[in-house]
A and B are shown apart, each in its own frame.
Chain A
Amino acid sequence: MLNRRDFLKLVGVGGAGAAAGFALGELTKTPPAKLIPYLIPPEDVIPGIANWYASACMQCSAGCGILVRVMEGRAKKIEGNPLHPINKGGLCARGQAGLQLLYNPDRIKNPLKRNGKRGKGEFEEITWEEGLSILTNNLMELRSHGEADRLYLLTSLIRGHLNFLLADFMKAYGSPNYLQYDLFQYENLRFANKIIVGQYTIPHYDIANTNFLLSFGADFVTTWISPVNYNYGYGQMRQGEGRNVRGKLVQIEPRLSLTGANADEWVPVRPGTEGVLALGIAYIILEGGYYRGGDAKLWKDALKKYNPEAVASTTEVSEDRIKQLGKEFATTKPSLAIGGETVSSYENGVSNLVAINLLNHLSGNIGKTGGVIPNPDVIKKSFNPIATIAKDASRRKIKTLILHNANPVFTTPETLKLKDALKDIPFIASLSSLHDETTALADLILPSHTYFEDWGDDFAEPTVGYSVATIMQPAVSPLFNTKGAGDVFISLAKTLGGNLQKDITWEDFGVFLRDSWKKIYERHKGDIKEANFEDFWNDLLARGGWWDAVPKASKPVRVAASEVSAHLSSEPAKFEGNDKEYPFYLILYPHLSYKDGRGANLPWLQELPDPMTSVVWGTWIEMNSKAATGMGIKEGDMLLVESPFGKITAPVYFYPGQRPDTISIPLGQGHTSYGRYADGRGANPIELLPAKTDPKTGAIPLNSTRIKITRVNAPKSFVKMEGVAKELGRNIVQTITPEEFKKMGKEA
């Protein structure tokens, strides 16, 4: 059957096959893994065991405390600090995404010098010595010409000791122009509180203990002021331990926010008339005799024109509802009225907020548990409106501008012409750790550390009724060739000499911080009780902060009807553009994850679906489908939105929680030079706004114009997580009428 010849052939084939298989196995073996030991092991590192460093979150101005999980020197996760009185262990999505700021591939890795035309984004890498000497020479020249006051320093909201250092630096240098800017700096709210609460600060809104919360457009579960703290409060209000009342939340706003979706009642008021509605409710409180003060008569006189009929016709809220809201607000104790971003962002934002605060005064909520609890005063200088910078720059008053983490070019309307004005400044230096629209105009970039790599601290404002300071410590060593902003100014002071050398003597910012905290230690207050500063400092770093949990007794404030009524406006807010040509009100709101746009470069936040619409990655236009009938618009169609001042294009999303006469657009997208994850996504609706700032507070009114829309083309780049809003016969949400339910006889 098998002859010798074939047998040998088979053996040959078999042997060759086996050899080839063996050789292949040898070749495809994965190279052995390596075990790389430390040369000298760091003292506090055990491989495989995490170190948790307490620090401060810098993703917004709420001032939460965080714990950073660090393994083998790398930050891996961020959690809320459970000891911290503001966030109590909670942390929002933006705080979690902070890691992607640290590891962002678009971080500036070395000092950069402009190389090419301004604004083109062409830079060359230089050394720190070179970078610092360019800036020092510039400042020396400025001072020798006697133009020290023409140095401007513009930073984000810095509240800790870095703020004091920068103020000292500017003072010793001889310039009064140290400015802070943020799109949401709540100046209107502070101003309104000065009038009713008597303090130019934001008080603590005790949502946790209130039984009736009347929120005028305050989206406090997503973005408003201190969302993590308010979220905790909201949970407590609804089902806190030891509470037998499920607090009621009424949300008054033209666009249903996430907070509105959680409310018991939603009042879709006509945009701009929230203040009038608040006064209408105040009228009911006075009429019903619920106000306990002796000057009820004066108030009645001051508010007599806000009778329910008049208010109902202005606000489009029915008389009955106004009466019922007024009665419920006055009789439920404790109650609390808060005015949020929507209300504050009209051109008459201050008077709206005064009107809302007045409700708290009239029903006696100020200084009460479950009401408005005044916070300790904070050291604060008045804000200069961003418009002054634009004006000073265009008048060529600014010779040198130093920027630190502020991005006003993105968050101011084009009509303010800030970008053009900045181009007239001869020298701009930026200490930003990432490229952004304002840093793109810089001549010199000296990249600073992120908040994981630097020393620092933060005095939260608002706090929770007592002082809270959060300490920030380096959780990881610097990833790139960067320096802390404080260190940059200290080394500038050394080389500039003169007064600066006398006033700023510390060797680096860490030493300065420690020295400054000695002063806090010497007061011997707060809940860290130690016999010497060394132990105090160690405790402080371990706990992540210092707080003095003794609520300050609030002094009663005299609120005079005549004074307050001067700040009230009986008219609804004005909107630019006539209502024939521009049929829709425009409401701009901060996006849950980008807020004013700063979060747009973090991919985790980009892919986080908006909780109300489930849209990811872009800007969208929220409009009621009723308003779209007859216009031939389908969901996802690209619309051209035009105001008298600018235009943008974005896809439309049909949102039933939207008044038909109003269109809402979230802020935060439409970046042009903010790194690979942010650029070229969506549109920046701030471009639609007029060049207006509040004369009293410098705030930019976001809700101040009317718009029109035109369909441009079919759906393009519109991504949302939800499918259709219809059940398609799948009977997912099973419903039953009360009558049927009764018939079933199952009532308890």
Chain B
Amino acid sequence: MKKFLVYVIVGVVTFTIGYNVNLIYFPDLSPKQPINFSHKIHAGDNSIPCQYCHIYADKSTVSGVPNVQRCIGCHKIIKQDAPEIQKLQGYWDRKETIPWVKVYNLPDFVYFSHKRHVKAGVPCQRCHGDVAKMDRITRQAVLFGIPYARVSPLKMGWCLDCHTNGAKEFIGMQVKNGRDCWTCHK
């Protein structure tokens, strides 16, 4: 009887550990996208500025997923023969939009504005990582080929890091009222 209890306890404890290991260390940080779009080719090799495609980043709360017309605008001419571009052409011909998978997702109770951050001069890479080196967008940082942490945990403490003292390096000043709850929770 006593032994059985020990099994149960060990079972429950390891179950919890297993569950949390999955949630914490195996989140889907680099989901597969409907088209194998490479930021490395666009932003890295060809040095296209972020806001050439993410056109609302300095105007609105959202940065804006590029509309299909914008992709086709260049790819009418460029690399028409590549299989992934033909996928894109397929969407355009069918007049469908591309169901991209969201990588950075904030909960509803957080108010976040791209406009404010872009206007303040925060570089995109500060939160989104060095996308110019990524083939597929990922939030997983890799050291010697081993994934070890996330690029941006998107947790409140991480936000407050900059909001309380860490913003000087990019914007040259402290965030005003950085600790005000209402800045993000409205």
Contact = CB atoms under 8 A, between A and B. Distances in A.
Interface stretch (B7-15, B44-52, B76-84): B7-15
Contacts of B66: 37
A14 B12 CA distance: 8
Given A14-B11, A39-B96, A34 B101 contact: yes
Interface in A17-51: 17-26, 29, 32-41, 46-49
Contacts of B97: 36-39
A126 B116 CA distance: 51
A249 to B, nearest CB: 40
A35 B23 CA distance: 23
B17 A18 contact: yes
Contacts of B23: 25
Nearest to B69: A40
Contact of A17 (B10, B26, B59): B10
A35 B92 CA distance: 17
B17 A21 contact: yes
B18 A22 contact: yes
B69 A39 contact: yes
B101 A46 contact: no
Nearest to B91: A39
Interface residues of A, number: 32
A466 to B, nearest CB: 40
A119 to B, nearest CB: 44
Interface in B57-85: 59-62, 64-69
A13 interface: yes
B65 A35 contact: yes
Contacts of A9: 7
A10 interface: yes
Given A18-B14, A33-B102, A47 B56 contact: yes
A34 B102 contact: yes
Contacts of B96: 39
Given A17-B13, A22-B21, A35 B101 contact: yes
Given A22-B19, A25-B22, A34-B99, A17 B67 contact: no
Contacts of B170: none
Residue among B19, B28, B95, B100 facing the most chain A CB atoms (10 A cut-off):
B19
A290 to B, nearest CB: 59
A10 B16 contact: no
B171 to A, nearest CB: 22
Contacts of B98: 37
A291 to B, nearest CB: 61
A16 B11 contact: yes
A15 interface: yes
B56 A15 contact: no
B6 interface: yes
A21 B95 contact: no
Nearest to B61: A48
A36 B96 CA distance: 10
Nearest to B66: A37
A10 B7 contact: yes
Contact of B19 (A25, A32, A34, A38): A25
Contacts of B18: 17-25
Given A14-B14, A39-B69, A6 B105 contact: no
Given A37-B68, A38-B67, A48-B56, A17 B22 contact: no
A463 B142 CA distance: 70
A6 B10 CA distance: 12
Contact of B59 (A15, A22, A49): A49
Nearest to B113: A48
Contacts of B101: 32-35
A532 to B, nearest CB: 31
B3 interface: yes
B67 A13 contact: no
B90 interface: no
Contacts of A47: 56, 60, 62, 64
Contacts of A40: 67-69
Given A25-B23, A37-B67, A10 B102 contact: no
A26 B26 CA distance: 9
Contacts of A41: 67, 69
Contact of A48 (B7, B17, B60): B60
Contacts of B3: 6
B8 to A, nearest CB: 9
B125 interface: no
B86 interface: no
B14 A48 contact: no
Contacts of B22: 21-22, 24-26
A16 B14 CA distance: 8
B36 interface: no
Residue among A25, A35, A41 facing the most chain B CB atoms (10 A cut-off):
A35
A33 B17 CA distance: 26
Nearest to B71: A37
Contacts of A37: 64-68, 97-98, 100
Contacts of A48: 56, 60-62
Nearest to B99: A34
Given A40-B67, A40-B69, A47-B56, A32 B31 contact: yes
A29 B102 CA distance: 14
B17 A46 contact: no
B20 interface: yes
A47 B113 CA distance: 12
B17 to A, nearest CB: 6
A17 B61 contact: no
Nearest to A34: B99
A46 B28 contact: no
B99 A36 contact: yes
Contacts of B14: 13-15, 17-18, 21
A46 B102 contact: no
A21 B13 CA distance: 10
Contacts of A16: 11
B100 A34 contact: yes
B67 to A, nearest CB: 4
Given A9-B7, A26-B22, A47-B60, A20 B69 contact: no
B61 A38 contact: no
Contacts of A38: 67-69, 97
B11 A13 contact: yes
Contacts of B28: 29, 32
Contacts of A24: 15, 18-19, 22
A46 B59 CA distance: 8
Residue among B7, B18, B28, B98 facing the most chain A CB atoms (10 A cut-off):
B18
Given A29-B28, A33-B102, A34-B102, A13 B65 contact: no
A21 B59 contact: no
Contact of B15 (A21, A33, A34): A21
A13 B64 CA distance: 49
A70 to B, nearest CB: 14
Given A21-B16, A25-B18, A25-B23, A13 B68 contact: no
Nearest to A37: B65
Residue among A9, A24, A37, A46 facing the most chain B CB atoms (10 A cut-off):
A37
A46 B56 contact: yes
A47 B18 CA distance: 40
A41 B70 CA distance: 9
Nearest to B105: A33
Contacts of A29: 27-28
Nearest to B12: A17
Contact of A39 (B19, B68, B105): B68
Interface of B: 3, 6-7, 10-23, 26-28, 31, 56, 59-62, 64-69, 92, 95-102, 105
The 3 lowest CB-CB distance pairs between A and B, nearest first, are A21-B18, A25-B22, A18-B18
Given A13-B14, A37-B66, A39-B96, 10 more contacts: A10-B6, A10-B7, A14-B13, A15-B14, A24-B22, A25-B19, A25-B23, A37-B98, A40-B69, A41-B67
9 contacts: A6-B3, A9-B7, A14-B10, A15-B14, A16-B11, A17-B15, A20-B18, A37-B68, A40-B67
Interface of A: 6, 9-10, 13-26, 29, 32-41, 46-49
